Structure 1
Amino acid sequence: MTGLICFEAAARHVSFKRAAQELNVTPAAISHQVKAVELDLGCALFRRLHRGVELTEKGAFLLVAIQRGLEGMSDAVGHLRERRDAVDVTIRTTTAVSALWLTPRMSAFWKVHPTITVSQTVSDVPDRFSRHDLNILYGVPNDDGREWRQLFHDRIVAVGTRRFKEEHAIHDLVGLGAAPLVHMNSEDNDWTGWNQWFGTLGQPAPKGRGLYVNNYLIAMQAAQDDAGAMLGWDGLIGDMLADERLVKLVEEDVPSPVAFYLTIHPRASAEARLFADWLVGIAR
């Protein structure tokens, strides 16, 4: 179990050093635990590079399995510990939406409504039996009787750092297709992939070197580290484009096939509905 916890932290951060800081141990200890797991499984979970590490396909598969298990335990503990009288609003969302869109805007909500408490559940595992007041999801809402509202319908853009754009001389779609690309590989989210993106623009599939990850934030970090270009939803990464941590690599983009929605539980409180109205307002 210790080895799996160390691996999960290292895989989530894509860094032995940051995992060690989180777990208050040395990077050597993280490396030792990960190596023990690899020996036990008989396969490599990381590729050791000069500048750090990156997950192998089997490593990404194991990370998803461990995170599902930890999220299941967290949900169970949360339900047992839950004190409904202490929380006005509960909302469930994915890691990417929480980190890139929801959490950065919470302080603005509390400035207007300082007495309303909001509890976030952050999970990338599909939630089929949610008891949360609100749920932000990517895709068409289920017809389960819940009220839903559209937050934003993005355009999908190819992004990377300015240095990456100059290093690979990306001036058009042909140049982009030959450059290294970061691919999202997740069975839990129907993200638009590079082949589909290029195909929508009438272009052949890209031929550049690929880095495959199963987490949007890891993909974004890889793009910021110049490991490759990534596909970004402009509603999520607008802040990063505004301060040029990432830039559009080509002018072309495509509309997202589906939108981001907010669903509302039938028994949601008045405070939850007020928060829902506020979210829809800032999204527009």
Structure 2
Amino acid sequence: MNKLPPLASLRAFEAAARHLSFKRAAEELGVTPTAVSHQIRLLEDTIGMRLFERLPRKVALTETGSQLYPVFRDAFSSMTRALGSVTREGSRKAFTLTSTTGFTAKWLVPRIARFNATHPQITLRLYPSDAVTELGTGAADCAIRYGKAPFKGLVAEPLFTERFAPVCSPLLEIRNPEDLFNHTLLHSEWRRNDEFTPSWKKWFGHAGLSGKVPEVQTILTDDSHVIQAAVAAQGIALASTVLVREEIEQGLLIQPFAPELEGLTYHFVYPETMSEDPNVMAFGNWLLEELAGTPKKLRTDRKETV
């Protein structure tokens, strides 16, 4: 081959291979899944080999695709670093943070004006996604992730541990756990499923009511929608106490009783190379200060990477 295939085809392949999804690659690139499929088909025709197995509801890399993916992943990452290295020091004013859709909508967005007020020279781009986004590939520079550290290849700064509890509108007049049997139970459909995944079954067990657990009647796929339904008095939500803090302070929701279920920890994570980026570090320090209410700094000696 005397020349490379079109850059758009290579970019579509790298994103689709990273997500193992044409749909998520399309969301990242700002195009349609059909456009991603077309670019990948063009690349396959150019090299004369298949890169993906098209399976029902998903795709998988072929042996050729698995061989090429790390090459293109590293190439795009190298190009990103090279462009950054030739930019004048201090001129890079924008960076991208990714986090779950619920945390972005309910915690970050209401507070982002405070970050902008104290750091007007920095442009922060929010990339909400419930899928884990690989950092350092151009899609995102840093992330807020929920789970157990360490995160492979990343520096991880713990922020806070999540807790879940029943919350509802005061209009429902819920006073004790037995009242739950007379109302709709709301729940968010989580991608993960382990001992730390909250569920009404676990909550009723902690409350000593495991012998009579009602069926969950309404399941939504987005935390913010669950909270909205609870505010509208459509039922009782098993929700993050962090994400509903504003609604509770405003009197839109109440936490009528205990217990609370303990979850995992939110972390601010970034590639170690990003520790030299003043904008990413400024945002991390702002996060810690926002959570603590007092000035704090990231520990630059923290090396929670593997």
State, as a whole percentage, how many aligned pairs show the same letter: 22
Question: Under a length normalisation based on structure 2, what TM-score does the superposition of the two structures give?
Answer: 0.62
Question: Under a length normalisation based on structure 1, what TM-score does the superposition of the two structures give?
Answer: 0.66
**What is the CA–CA distance in structure 2 between the aligned matches of 1:189 and 1:112, rounded to whole Å?**
39
Residue in structure 2 matching 1:241, options 232, 240, 248: 248
Name the counterpart of 2:101: 95
Unaligned runs of 5+ in 2: 1-20, 32-75, 85-90, 293-306
**What is the CA–CA distance in structure 1 between the aligned matches of 2:288 and 2:141, rounded to whole Å?**
15
Q: Is 2:227–2:237's contact at 8 Å kept on the other side of the alignment?
A: yes
Secondary structure of 1:111's aligned partner: helix
Letter of the 1:221 counterpart: Q
Residue in structure 1 matching 2:131, options 103, 119, 125: 125
Q: Is 1:155–1:253's contact at 8 Å kept on the other side of the alignment?
A: no
Task: Give aligned pairs, total.
Answer: 211
**What is the CA–CA distance in structure 2 between the aligned matches of 1:129 and 1:259, rounded to whole Å?**
19
**What is the CA–CA distance in structure 1 between the aligned matches of 2:269 and 2:171, rounded to whole Å?**
40
Letter of the 1:152 counterpart: F
270-279 or 188-197, which moves further after superposition?
A: 188-197
Secondary structure of 1:192's aligned partner: coil
**Pair 93,206 (structure 1): closer, same or farther in 2 beyond 3 Å:** same
Q: Is 1:88–1:272's contact at 8 Å kept on the other side of the alignment?
A: no
Q: Is 1:151–1:283's contact at 8 Å kept on the other side of the alignment?
A: yes
Unaligned runs of 5+ in 1: 1-67
**Pair 123,200 (structure 1): closer, same or farther in 2 beyond 3 Å:** same
Name the counterpart of 2:47: none
Secondary structure of 2:98's aligned partner: strand
Name the counterpart of 1:272: 280
Name the counterpart of 2:191: 187
1:215 CA drift (Å): 1.3
RMSD (Å), alpha carbons: 2.7
Q: Is 2:175–2:257's contact at 8 Å kept on the other side of the alignment?
A: no
Give the 5 Å matches for 1:176-255.
176-188=180-192, 191-204=197-210, 205-207=212-214, 210-248=217-255, 250-255=256-261
Name the counterpart of 1:159: 167
1:273 CA drift (Å): 1.0
Q: Is 2:164–2:241's contact at 8 Å kept on the other side of the alignment?
A: yes
107-116 or 182-191, which moves further after superposition?
A: 182-191
**What is the CA–CA distance in structure 2 between the aligned matches of 1:270 and 1:87, rounded to whole Å?**
9
**What is the CA–CA distance in structure 1 between the aligned matches of 2:168 and 2:131, rounded to whole Å?**
27
Letter of the 2:167 counterpart: V
1:282 CA drift (Å): 0.7
1:153 CA drift (Å): 1.5
1:200 CA drift (Å): 2.3
1:138 CA drift (Å): 1.5
Q: Is 1:201–1:254's contact at 8 Å kept on the other side of the alignment?
A: no
Q: Is 2:164–2:263's contact at 8 Å kept on the other side of the alignment?
A: no
**What is the CA–CA distance in structure 1 between the aligned matches of 2:151 and 2:159, rounded to whole Å?**
18
**What is the CA–CA distance in structure 2 between the aligned matches of 1:175 and 1:228, rounded to whole Å?**
11
Q: Can you list the C-alpha shifts for 1:2-28, whole angstroms capped at 9, x where unaligned?
A: xxxxxxxxxxxxxxxxxxxxxxxxxxx
**What is the CA–CA distance in structure 1 between the aligned matches of 2:252 and 2:22, rounded to whole Å?**
33
**Pair 116,238 (structure 1): closer, same or farther in 2 beyond 3 Å:** same
Letter of the 1:105 counterpart: R
Residue in structure 1 matching 2:178, options 154, 157, 174: 174
Letter of the 2:149 counterpart: P
Secondary structure of 1:73's aligned partner: helix
Q: Is 1:89–1:271's contact at 8 Å kept on the other side of the alignment?
A: yes
Structure number with greater Rg is: 2
